[in-house]
Structure 1
């Protein structure tokens, strides 16, 4: 899918930019946006020219949450006129098949796809980010907020619960106490509180937001080996659920051994000794080691 209608996707100088593009609706999330975001990350992973991804919103919002235009039926998929999930998981006897694909949360499909990304992902949060607008960021690696940004895990105020796998991501990022405080209250809070709570790593003036995000992306693109970055990203994220440091030691050892034999490692050392920029020869599409992926999990996108 390349003819996007609710996002924009552009690549320039090794950096892909994904822009949520429904400014009249404050970039409210829909099933179409879900599918387009997943497709955009498929594109960035497949393109060796892309070294980092920046995600932002068009207009004054990042994402105001789920599109509520269906009113009371917004989260009741079976009773919405468009029934975006297709066949119903409700059996003839009225029981629910919770394993049915139609039960799966759309926000979670997006965050799990971002989680699988081979390229580092930088969120440039330009304005209000509420509901899925807040939770879709959690699988991104670096989050930078404009001073105008606001955040809200508002689910309890809408009669639902946190989604987008945020019960896994959020406590790991900000700690369980902070995660519960924000989710229990459902209140909207500003960029300074998001920074103090560890949700974002940087708060900058609105007119400096994208420049800051691109400068971080540029630092990655210009100075690092793409295969090393792809491995590092997956090693860090997946070890958050490891039972023991021995699990990390096994993967570290395989990665160090494999990378140490690579042309990238030779170039990294020689370029340092010769005091020149490195030109790493290996690509993500062809250079990932034979033990990758090392986890046993189904694809979710």
Structure 2
């Protein structure tokens, strides 16, 4: 059991907090990776959770890997090349798979530095908002390594290949304003307003029917690699399902009757 990921609940919104502030929320143990899989399973099993907010405790969002452990070749970084390869596959690479396959929308509230694997973790979320003091770096090359957790797939899809190449090949950090200009984040807030803003956004999203949210997220993900014709077929199938939910009927009735909707996730 890991104490790395704290979980709480505010109505239909689940809040996950990276909780190792003394290490700037860096990944340091295998249990840290498994905690994300466990959290995703809990959300998947509870349709009343319509949105997840992910943030960090203390001054950082996530500093990535434990650099001292890299130096000492201990913990996650010990062993032969073959052992390291398997440790990446069976460890941190389980996080992008778990988050990508989770149909519930995820909002990253980036409260401070998101560095290396920390930046990639933010990129695994569907929406990123950030404190004005946050920084972002795809900094693997500065340590003589490569993005080992899917960043080379995620980052170009968010900021485009030229900017992703700029970030990954220089390893340089972006300030929050540049991250906004480059569409890495969609909104900046004062540090003290970050969680309030993130929760307000999450509750606006959660005000929509859960089935529609989950199916829409799936369509957005599938649309990144499907032909238009195939996506249209999938959209038609999902739309047929959505039309037969009670939440669709309630949404239509509420709109016509000019009243708030009462969704039951059914």
TM interval, short-chain normalised: over 0.9
| 1:105–1:176 distance in 2 versus 1, CA, 3 Å | farther
Match of 2:164 in 1: 179
TM-score where L is the length of structure 1: 0.82
Give the deviation of 1:105 after TM superposition. 6.3
Against the structure 1 CA distance between its residues 157 and 72, is the aligned structure 2 distance closer, same or farther, given a 3 Å change threshold?
Answer: farther
CA distance in 1, matches of 2:248, 2:56: 37
Return the structure number with greater helix share: 2
Please give the root-mean-square deviation of Cα atoms over the aligned residues, in Å: 1.9
Give the match for residue 291 of structure 1.
none
Q: Which one has a bigger Cα radius of gyration? A: 1
Mapped to 2, the partners of 1:250 and 1:49 lie a distance apart of 28
1:46 aligned partner: 45
1:35 alignment counterpart = 34
Query: Which residues of structure 2 form unaligned runs of 5+?
Result: none
Matches within 5 A, 1:1-301: 4-30=2-28, 31-70=30-69, 71-73=71-73, 76-78=77-79, 89=82, 101-102=86-87, 104=89, 106-222=91-207, 224-242=208-226, 244-283=227-266
What is the deviation of 1:216? Answer: 0.6
Alpha-carbon distance in structure 2 between the residues aligned to 1:42 and 1:162: 26
Moved more, 57-66 or 261-270: 261-270
- Distance in 2 between residues matched to 1:135 and 1:276, nearest whole Å: 41
Deviations 1:236-295 (A, max 9, x none): 0121011x2101110111111221232222111111111111122334xxxxxxxxxxxx
Give aligned pairs, total.
263
Structure 1 unaligned spans of 5+ = 80-87, 91-95, 284-301
* SS of the residue 1:279 aligns to: coil
Task: Write out per-residue CA displacement over residues 52-86 of structure 1, whole angstroms, 9 at most, x where no aligned residue.
Answer: 1000000000111101232242674315xxxxxxx
Query: Moved runs in structure 1, 4+ residues, more than 2 A?
Result: 74-77, 105-108, 280-283
